[in-house]
Chains A and B, each alone.
Chain A
Amino acid sequence: MTTDFEILETIRMFQEQHLDVRTITMGISLMDCSSSNAEETARKIYDKICKRASKLVETGNDISREYKVPIINKRISVTPISIVAASSGVKDYTIFAKALDRAAKTCGVNFIGGFSALVHKGFTDSDRYLMESIPESLAATDFVCSSLNLATTRTGINMDAVRDMGRIIKKTAELTADKDAIGCAKLVVFANAPEDNPFMAGAFLGPGEPECVINVGISGPGVIKSALETVRGQDLGVVAETIKKAAFKITRVGELVAREASSRLDTPFGIIDLSLAPTPVVGDSIARILEEFGLEDCGAWGTTAALAMLNDAVKKGGTMASSFVGGLSGAFIPVSEDEGMIAAAASGKLSLEKLEAMTCVCSVGLDMVAIPGDTPAEIISGIIADEMAIGTFNGKTTAVRIIPVPGKTVGDMVEFGGLLGSAPIMRVNTSSCAEFIHRGGRIPAPIHSMRN
């Protein structure tokens, strides 16, 4: 029997500590939408998504009301378009991006991910067409998100793709320069991308996934921080236990919502993504959790250790709470989407190099990082190369979502608005890596990937 204290504690978590289900993402396979005609493929894409996801938003709203659990986003992820469009006979894939965008608008979701390609071992022709279509597609659509997997621990790093993506990111920035390069906020490159990630911009439904699936992303930085405030001064073992217990409760919320959504939409339940995802709202910050550990600013020495512990404790508490855990499942450190990160980066206490160190122990990577618009494409590729190496050689997922803002430089702020927040332009080491990047080729897989 639940006690009164527990009921009030639960209500406080939602009302004061910003506990919410961050997203219900419906994954829809578009494998059967291929055809030899682009218009027909685009139409099939639109029709299938609208048919499968017609009740997604309404169901999310119903569950939210009946359980009094805020469900912030309803989203859709699809099979990487480079696979779906491969036989369609065109080279410009903007038509498919537009079909995704229209479908997203019809269904009422706020993002649709999967304008993607998996190029970790090399490119198909279709992969190349998709990549070259990215800048135009992200400029021409509102809700489409694009992602690429450039590396895996088993295959190594596709350095040709790393070289190309520096250039493509810059072009995406240029084509959306009037909106502070917002196109780049919808574009992620990965090492070891998960096939079932429910979060944007990196969500896509991998080839190993079923016909249709419900994946849920929860969130609760505010709950964790409030829990830690009750154990100030106590040793780190107590801190770890406190985080684990809070993570358990947070994850159970997600599990319940996922099972309800799955049942009402008659769609199999996939996974819960345990990630702690911040928002720019005060009280919903990962950086402030790290400061609650006892650091003056996020970015101080000790930040990497604190984040490693936080990430690990969240996973331990969350895994007990759910039958199927997947996606990214760790702490997110998106600079623009975290009030504490924004403050630390703007005051110079948090550097890009420190963020890179933090990506070794958390789940995302260099995320929503704004850099000067005149940063050369090769340096962007170098940043990507380093993140890919961290992921590939350590057997974890890493990613880069970087935004070179045309016309802005260190000291300027960029406003993206809404959940995308705002970001200070961060300083980038300008030493050239152009010769390294232009070599191209593949960095071979690390020896520890040979596990047979």
Chain B
Amino acid sequence: MKLMDQHKAVITVVGNDSIGIIAKVSSVLADNHVNINDITQTILEDIFTMIMVVDLEKSDTDIKTLDEKLEKLGEDMGLSIRIQHAGLFNAMHRI
């Protein structure tokens, strides 16, 4: 079973809407040379939900460190921000 695109990751942001969420997350990603491939974002009953598909190929930061930085940003903003390898989603939802 091939895992497609080993350097792609998925970031999920969930929590209460506030000003600057996309800007602040994008800022952390830009600082670490992480490219954003796709963003989808919606507000479900006042809960802000954002999914980003990002590319880690040009980043020197490993996913564990990114996870820590994003987790910290999330805590500061009262949101849950997680980053995980995209391989999992491809593995589960494709034959």
> Which residues on A are within 8 Å of B, measured CB to CB?
2, 4, 6-8, 10-11, 62, 65-69, 249, 252-253, 255-256, 259, 320, 323
Which residues in chain B, 1-33, are within 8 Å of chain A measured between CB atoms? 1, 3, 10, 12
- Bound CA span A253–B67, Å: 20
A66 with B64: CB separation less than 8 A = yes
Q: With an 8 A cutoff between CB atoms, is B91 at the interface?
A: yes
Cβ–Cβ contact A10 & B88, under 8 A: yes
User: Which of A6, A65, A320 is in CB contact (< 8 Å) with B64?
Assistant: A65
Using CB atoms and an 8 Å cutoff, list the residues of chain B in contact with chain A. 1, 3, 10, 12, 40, 49, 51, 63-64, 67, 82, 84-95
- How distant is B38 from chain A, measured CB to nearest CB, in Å? 8
Tell whether A323 pairs with B89 under 8 Å between CB atoms, given A7-B10, A66-B67: no
Which one, A7, A10, A66, A323, contacts B63 given CB within 8 A? A66
Could you say which residues of chain A place their CB within 8 Å of the CB of B40? 4
Q: A69-B88, A252-B92, A320-B95 are in contact. List 17 more A-B contacts (CB 8 A).
A: A2-B89, A2-B94, A4-B40, A4-B51, A6-B92, A7-B10, A7-B12, A7-B89, A8-B51, A10-B88, A10-B92, A11-B12, A66-B64, A67-B84, A255-B1, A256-B87, A259-B3
**Contact for B84 among A8, A62, A68, A255, CB less than 8 A:** A68
Is the Cβ of B92 less than 8 Å from the Cβ of A67? Answer: no
Known A-B contacts A252-B92, A253-B92, A256-B3; A2 and B87 likewise in contact (beta carbons under 8 Å): no
Given the interface contacts A256-B87, A256-B91, does A65 sit within 8 Å of B67 by beta carbon?
yes
* Bound-state Cα–Cα, A259 to B87, Å: 12
Residue of B nearest to A249 (CB): B92
Give chain B residues whose Cβ lies under 8 Å from the Cβ of A11: 12
B63: chain A residues within 8 A (beta carbon) = 66
Cα distance, A210 to B67, chains bound together (Å): 36
**Nearest neighbor of A63 in chain B, beta-carbon distance:** B85
Q: Are A323 and B64 in contact (CB under 8 A)?
A: no
B3 contacts which chain A residues (CB < 8 A)? 256, 259
Rounded to whole angstroms, the CA-CA distance of A10 and B86 in the bound complex is 11
Q: Which of B1, B12, B84, B85 contacts A323 (CB 8 A)?
A: B1
For B37, give the chain A residue with the smallest CB separation: A1
